[in-house]
Chains A and B, each alone.
Chain A
Amino acid sequence: GQNIDQPTEMTATEGAIVQINCTYQTSGFNGLFWYQQHAGEAPTFLSYNVLDGLEEKGRFSSFLSRSKGYSYLLLKELQMKDSASYLCAVRDPSGNTPLVFGKGTRLSVIA
């Protein structure tokens, strides 16, 4: 089967660091994506991991452990504009759906 788990909601303070976790159970694995979606807008690509380790891109970093079926998205120096939903998606070439999305984590950044 295919299953992606993320926390439903998180709250963090402006200027702080927040880590959004994602665990997955899929038959196959060919990469993990993180997308950001502001309310009423389209998802936008943040990161892609296919090998274990940390990928850093400015204030955002994404980590992958394939053996644990685990990823996290790390957001540093939080800004109010980072309030959005963060979607974890796994590419599973062996499943019925090639790209499986989690339900998303709604992050609220407060002053």
Chain B
Amino acid sequence: ETGVTQTPRHLVMGMTNKKSLKCEQHLGHNAMYWYKQSAKKPLELMFVYSLEERVENNSVPSRFSPECPNSSHLFLHLHTLQPEDSALYLCASSQGAPGPYEQYFGPGTRLTVT
């Protein structure tokens, strides 16, 4: 595997379910990000991890819980989501953060909350 991978690619969950999104980067980067992309809205940065420490939490509801066990892996734990949370969730990595580093994105997880 190369680049940034995400699983699952598609997820449908009910509002009472608990699920997790997984991201893995094979680029040797030390910063990882979660973004939310909704239709007709800009990419929204959710969380930033640098050297496995969370350096940014952009006022995201607590029903989204990130976890970064090491510099190559990033999880987003989901529970009691709302229909408006349906979106494409993108993971990215970069050489460092914060800083003007090019970010490499994964293919995303298309999440539908029913």
Which A residues lie at the B interface, using CB under 8 A?
Answer: 4, 30-31, 33, 41-45, 48, 50, 87, 89, 91, 93, 96-104
Q: Do most interface residues of chain B lie in helix, strand or loop, or is the interface mixed?
A: loop
Residues on A with C-beta less than 8 A from B104 are 45
Contact among A30, A44, A101 for B43, CB-based, below 8 A? A101
A42 with B48: CB separation less than 8 A: no
| Count, chain B residues at interface, CB 8 A | 23
Q: Do most interface residues of chain A lie in helix, strand or loop, or is the interface mixed?
A: loop
With A101-B42, A103-B42, A104-B42 already in contact, the answer to whether A48 and B102 are too (CB < 8 A) is yes
B45 with A98: CB separation less than 8 A: yes
- Could you pull out 22 A-B pairs where Cβ atoms are within 8 angstroms? A4-B42, A41-B107, A42-B90, A42-B106, A42-B107, A42-B108, A43-B90, A91-B100, A93-B98, A96-B59, A97-B45, A97-B56, A97-B58, A98-B45, A98-B98, A99-B103, A100-B42, A101-B42, A101-B43, A103-B41, A103-B42, A104-B42
A48 with B41: CB separation less than 8 A: no
Q: How far is the CB of A22 from chain B (nearest CB, A)?
A: 12
A96 with B40: CB separation less than 8 A: no
